Structure 1
Amino acid sequence: MTKEQARYQLADELGGIEILNARYQQQNFSRHSHEGYTIGVIESGAQQFYRTGGNHIAPQDSIILVNADEVHTGCSASEGGWSYQAMYPTPEQFEQLSQDLGIKQQGAPYFSQAVVQDSVVAGSLRATLALLANSNNRLQRESMVYASLSLLMTRHAKTRPTTTSTFNERNHLSLVKQFLDEQPQANVSLSELAKLVNLSPCYLVKQFVKRYGLPPHAYQIQARLRLAKQLLRQGNKQLDVALDCGFHDQSHFSRHFKRALGVSPGRYAKELAA
C-alpha cells in the first residue's frame, strides 16, 4: 500500500506562496476552505472533490481550480489514489499581479470551472512549481510565477457572479465573517454573533451557509486553522498553538488540521517553520 505523502513549501514570490507536492491514497479531506486559491495539476490517478455546489472528477493532467474561501473536499477517484502539485496564491497576490501586468479587472479573478483541461497552462504550472521547489534563481522564479498565473487568468478567469442577497445582508454577513477571521480563538456564541448584526440566530446560520458554504461554527474552525498555520510557521509549540487558537486540546487540533490540510501539524511545522 502506498504511503501518504505530502510536502509543503513556502515560496518567497509575491510575499510568500504556499506550494504542495502530494500523493494520497486514503486521504479524505473534510469540507474546508483556504484563504488562498487552490491551483493544482493532477500528476497521476484521479481526484474527486466537491466545489460550487457539485462534485467533480479531475483526471490525470487536468487542472483543479478552487477560488479563495470556497468550500471544497477531496478524495481519490481511482483505485491507486492520486498525486498532484498545487500552489495557493491569495486574492491580494492576484490583484498585485494584475496591477503589475496591467491587466484590467476589478478585484481578484474568479474561476467558474472546477476542472480545466488545458495542456498549455498545465505545462506552465508544472514548470513553475518545479522551479519553485528546486531553483534559487530569483529572477527566473519570479518570472515563471508571473507568466503561469497571468496565463491562467487570461485563459480561464471570469467575472464573479452576482449574489441575490441585499446590500444590508451582505454587509451583515461580512461583519460576522470579519469577526471570525480577526478573532478565531474567541469562544463566541451564535446568539452573540446574531446580536452583533441584529439578525435572528436561525436566519444568520441559513444566510451564512448560503453565502460562505459553511455554518459559522464550521467557518470558525477554518479561521482557527489559518491562524494555527501562521503560528506553526513562526516556530510555536503545537500545544500552545492549539490552545491559543481556541481548540480544546492538541488532539482536537491535530484531527482538524490533518483532515483539512492532509498533513499533521508537526509535519507542517517541520517543513515551513521560519
Structure 2
Amino acid sequence: MRKTPPCASVFRRDPELGFLEWRSSLIQGAPFGVHTHDTVSVAVVRGGSYALSCRGETREAGPGSAVFFPAEEPHSCNPLPGEAMDYRKYYLAPAWFEALRLELAGEPAAPPEGCIADDGAARPAVVCDPATAGAFAPLARALEGDAPAGEKLALLRVALRRLLRAPAYFLGEGEPAAEREAVSAVVRAISRDPAETIRLEELAEASGLTPSHLLRVFRRSRGLTPHAYQTQLRVNLAKRMLAEGAPIAQVALEAGFVDQSHLNRVFRRYMGATPRQYLLGARP
C-alpha cells in the first residue's frame, strides 16, 4: 500500500517584495477549520483535489485550479478523503492588490474581470483553467530562485492579470443585503482591536439584531461564530507580529491569547504550523 506523505508547509518572504508572502504545502487529512486571512490570497493546486467551503457552499478544486479569496473571507479547504493536496498559496497586501486591480481595469479594451463581481467587489472565486494556474509556475521558480526583484514583480503581475481575466465561478451568491450589512457592522467592531474582549451583547447592539439572531446570521454568512472570527483575527495579528520579529511570548499576550501554549495550539489549527515553524520556514 502506498504511504501518504506527512503534512508539510514552508513559508517564504522576500524583503524586496514586502507586500507578498507565499508558501508551498503538502496537506492530507483535514487539518484546517474555517479560517480567514488578512490578505488577498490565491491558491494554485498542483496535485490532489480538495473540498473548498465558503459562504454556505462547497465545491471541489483539483490540479490546474486557482482559488481566489478577498481579505477576511472565512473559508475552509481540506483534501478529499484519501488524497494529499499539493499546492502553493500567495498572500497579497490588500492595498497593493487593489492598486493593481484598478490599474488593470483601466487598460484599453480590458475584458471583464474574472474574480471581481459586477458590483466591483472582489468575491471568492474558483478558476478551473490549467493555463491560468500554469501562469503562476514561472513566478514560483523565480521566487524560489535568485531572480531579480523586478523579474519576480513582472511575473507576479502577469499571473494576476491572467487570473483576473479568466472566467470564474463565484461562491455563495445571493446573500440578503440587510444581513450582509449587519454582518459587516460586527466585522468592523471586532476588527478595530481583535485582542480586546468584546461581549456578544455589544456585537448584537452594533448589528441591530438580537444576540441569537446575530449568531444565526453571522454563522450562515461567515461560516463561524463572531467569537471564532475574532480568534482568527488574533491569529492574523500574531502572524504579522511574528513576521516583524516580535518574540513568541510577547506575541501571545499582545494578540489576546492566554499564554504561549494557547497561541501555539490555536496558531497551528489555523495556519497548519506552530509559530516557531512559521518563523523557521520564512526566508529572510
What TM-score, normalized to structure 2? 0.83
Listed as ranges, the matches of 1:25-104 within 5 Å are: 25-26=28-29, 28-77=31-80, 79=82, 81-101=84-104, 102=106
Aligned mate of 2:177, from 142, 148, 165: 165
List aligned pairs for 1:121-270, cutoff 5 A: 121-156=132-167, 161=173, 163-166=175-178, 170-270=180-280
More helix by share: 1
Q: Which moved more, 1:214-223 or 1:98-107?
A: 98-107
CA shift, 1:90, in A, is 4.2
Report how far residue 108 of structure 1 moved: 4.9
What CA distance in whole angstroms lies between the structure 1 residues aligned with 2:30 and 2:205? Answer: 39
SS in 2 for 1:188: coil
Matched residues, percent identical? 28
198 and 164 in structure 1: CA distance in 2 versus 1, 3 angstrom threshold: closer
Distance 1:43 1:122 in 2: 9
- Which stretches in structure 1 are left out of the alignment for 5+ residues? none
Quickly say closer, same or farther: Cα 1:14–1:93, change in 2 above 3 A: farther
Give 1:13 deviation, angstroms.
Answer: 7.0
Q: Take 1:171 and 1:46, find their aligned partners in 2: how far apart are those partners?
A: 34
Question: Aligned pair count?
Answer: 270
**Could you tell me the TM-score, scaled by structure 1's length?**
0.85
Q: CA RMSD in A?
A: 2.7
Given the superposition, is the C-alpha separation of residues 60 and 173 from structure 1 closer, same or farther in structure 2, using an over 3 Å criterion?
A: closer
SS at structure 2 position matched to 1:68: coil
Considering Cα pairs closer than 8 Å and 6+ residues apart, tell me whether 1 or 2 has the greater RCO. Answer: 2
Q: What is the CA distance between 1:230 and its match in structure 2?
A: 0.9
Bigger mean CA deviation after superposition, 219-228 or 148-157: 148-157
2:122 corresponding residue in structure 1: 109
The 2-side partners of 1:188 and 1:37 are apart by 26
Tell whether the 8 Å contact from 1:243 to 1:249 is kept in structure 2 after alignment.
yes
1:214-237 Cα distance to aligned partner (Å, 9 max, x none) = 211011001101110111111112
User: Is the Cα–Cα contact under 8 Å of residues 195 and 256 in structure 2 kept in the other structure?
Assistant: yes
Which amino acid in structure 2 is aligned with residue 110 of structure 1? R
Shift in Å, 1:27:
5.1
**Structure 2: distance between partners of 1:61 and 1:196:** 42
